[in-house]
Amino acid sequence: MAIVDIRRIESPAAPERSRTWWVYVLLLIVCFVNFVPYMYIVMTGFMDREAAISQTPTWMFWPTLDAFRHLIFEKGIMWNFFNSTVVALASTFFSVTIGTFCAYALARYVFTGRDDVGFWVLTNRMMPPVAVLIPIFITFQTLRLLDTRTGLIFLYTAMQLPFVVWMLTGYFRDIPRRYEESAMVDGDTWFAAFRKVTLPLMAPSITATAIFVMILSWNEYAFATFLTSINAKTMPPAIMAYSIGANVQWNILGAAVILITAPLILFVLIMQRQLISGLSQGVIKD
């Protein structure tokens, strides 16, 4: 009987880790390059005006909240924050709700021109906003929706619907139809089968799509700039005003960047498990 020296047997995972070490190094470099500028602009938000406008980067300083007090109490930026929150949440709710049923119809029902409808929905997402900016402005002016949160909610819902339908259609097709058919055999209607069987299976994917829609609605700039002025102005155009001009107050701009990015970062950190679960949801095995 041959005696095998177990010390000579190498773990199969070790060579893999040794060959992919450069991937981790590359990821660290990319993270560092992307994180350092944001970290410095966050630090700038806590500087005083003299330290912020210094010609050389200032890494050691005494933090202050003067820039935040200026934005909140003198400029009233929390009103813009409120507008962004209302518009983003409402448009996300409506677009995901309507888009879920549209995606379900495209995935489950066979009708004439179904593929054409799916392609048309996708091409609407590819259209640049500047191409329809003037017609939408005239329409909003006629309907008296300029500078209103209602107008932005309607517009953002229509803008994000193609993305929602495109994302969810593929996920619906991955769920076997016989799950719903079994529920309908037991006496459920199609809507009851959809609510009890399909919707729970789609919950991670719907949540991930809603996160993306929320981010897109929160960051939308072009339409918010041209369709609002005072009452319904959201955070992106409000903050852009602080970066225009010869004498930019960098500490105030840094504080504004913190106010617009911090909610999204916290939101993604809280929902990251649902986001990863939704994006990694694959075909359901029979």
Average pLDDT, the chain: 84
The answer on 178 and 41 residing in a single domain is no
Q: What is the mean pLDDT of residues 259-269?
A: 88
Other CB atoms closer than 10 Å to residue 127's CB: what's the count? 11
The answer on 133 and 32 residing in a single domain is no
The answer on 173 and 85 residing in a single domain is yes
The answer on 189 and 117 residing in a single domain is yes
Tokens encoding 261: 């990015």
pLDDT for residue 8 is more than 60: no
The answer on 180 and 38 residing in a single domain is no
| Residue 283 confidence (pLDDT) | 43
Instruction: Please tell me the least confidently modeled range out of 40-44, 103-107, 142-146, 279-283.
Output: 279-283
Give the residue numbers spanning the domain of 237: 66-279
pLDDT for residue 10 is more than 70: no
The answer on 95 and 196 residing in a single domain is yes
The answer on 254 and 192 residing in a single domain is yes
The answer to whether residue 261 is domain-embedded is yes
The answer on 89 and 208 residing in a single domain is yes
The residue to which tokens 């000579």 are assigned: 8
Q: What is the pLDDT of residues 121-175, one digit of tens each?
A: 778 777 788 888 899 999 999 999 999 999 999 999 999 999 999 889 888 888 8
The answer to whether residue 200 is domain-embedded is yes
The answer to whether residue 20 is domain-embedded is yes
The answer on 70 and 39 residing in a single domain is no
Domain count, the chain: 2
Other CB atoms closer than 10 Å to residue 61's CB: what's the count? 15
| Residue 286 confidence (pLDDT) | 45
- Confidence bin at 5 (pLDDT 50/70/90): low
Looking at residue 230, which CATH number applies to its domain?
1.10.3720.10
| Residue 282 confidence (pLDDT) | 53
The answer to whether residue 94 is domain-embedded is yes
Tokens encoding 179: 């799950």
How far does the chain reach from its first CA to its final CA, in angstroms?
46
pLDDT for residue 113 is more than 80: no
The answer to whether residue 210 is domain-embedded is yes
Q: What is the pLDDT of residues 57-103, one digit of tens each?
A: 778 888 899 999 999 999 899 999 999 999 999 999 999 999 999 99
The answer on 117 and 219 residing in a single domain is yes
The answer on 103 and 25 residing in a single domain is no
Q: What is the pLDDT of residues 215-247, one digit of tens each?
A: 999 999 989 999 998 899 999 999 887 777 667
| Residue 245 confidence (pLDDT) | 64
